[in-house]
Amino acid sequence: MPTDQNSPPISTILTPSERSSVDAAGQGLYETLHRDSMDDVIRDVRERRVAAVVVSVARCTYGETTRVAGLMKEFPRIPAIALLSSTEPAASQAVLSLGRSGVRTLVDVRAKDGWRALRKALADSSPTEISKIALDALAIDLSGAPAACWQFFEVMFTTVPAIVTVEAFAPRLHLPSATLASRLTRLALPTARHYLNLARLTRAARLLENPGLSIANVSNRMEYSSPQAFGRHLGVTLQITASTFRRTYDGERMLTLFRHELVLPYIAALRRFDPS
């Protein structure tokens, strides 16, 4: 189904009839990855940029709810939604089991407007990406800055996959990289590379809040050539190892570092920064 190319998919375990209904309910909002086991779902969460997991109450055997509990423990930043379409007596017990497993959202699609409620639940329960938190904070910091200055940060935090080089970043602002560099230098602002590096590490720190994602998983998602390259980047940028980075920084602490190093000391200049 046609969706925004930047919209991550959802991974599901559903009955055959539920699959087609979930597809229809999410048209234009998300892509579905229909799976047959929680192991497949966990693989999606670990290896792909999955936005949410939808589990049918009708598919929840004891073994599956145990795996759901493992998912919630390993990937606390990934929302999980239980879908109730069954009228079977066992459904109530399955709902309780899912609740004990850590699932906090139940959508009863037997109710009027139930499928619309599922669509809304998926839209509302998308994980609070660090990009949104960052842009909310920067909107306050940069009050009064030119629109092009805002675009500079918006592109940096929202482009998927993460932008790695200034040569790839500048065209997103409709500028040659040399022109972007000169406009930053003219106002004595940090280099675009420095902004990109810390924004990328902010997003990496958010991903590492999920214990089920390894450093290798995160380095791959953040477009590093290898876990070793990720480690070298951390060594040069923050003078720490990847394991220390994981222990020390979550997404919001890394965002605080980004703002205190690259935004707050330069507020006056940024409010005059117009790279358009």
Looking up tokens 């693989």 gives 43
pLDDT for 4 equals 43
**224 CB contacts (<8 Å, ≥6 apart)?**
230, 233
* Number of Cβ atoms within 10 Å of the Cβ of 90: 12
pLDDT for 126 equals 62
* Number of Cβ atoms within 10 Å of the Cβ of 172: 14
Angle, helices 192-207/227-238, rounded to nearest 10 degrees: 120
Residue 206: in which H helix or E strand, if any?
Answer: helix 192-207
* Domain covering 130-270 assigned CATH 1.10.600.10 in the classification: no
pLDDT tens digits along 129-159: 788 899 999 999 999 999 999 999 999 998 8
Regions of the chain with pLDDT less than 50: 1-5
Q: Backbone phi, then psi, for 14, in 5-degree steps?
A: -140, 165
pTM of the prediction? 0.80
**167 CB contacts (<8 Å, ≥6 apart)?**
177
Specify whether the backbone of 189 is left (phi greater than 0), alpha (psi in -120 to 50) or beta.
Answer: beta
pLDDT for 127 equals 57
Domain 10-124 class in CATH: alpha beta
pLDDT for 129 equals 76
Distance of CA 29 to the CA centre of its chain: 16
Query: Going along the chain, which residue ranges are E strands?
Result: 10-13, 32-35, 52-56, 80-84, 105-108
Give me the residue spans of the domains in the chain. Answer: 10-124, 130-270
DSSP 8: P
- Report how far residue 3's alpha carbon sits from residue 197's, in angstroms, rounded to the nearest whole number: 29
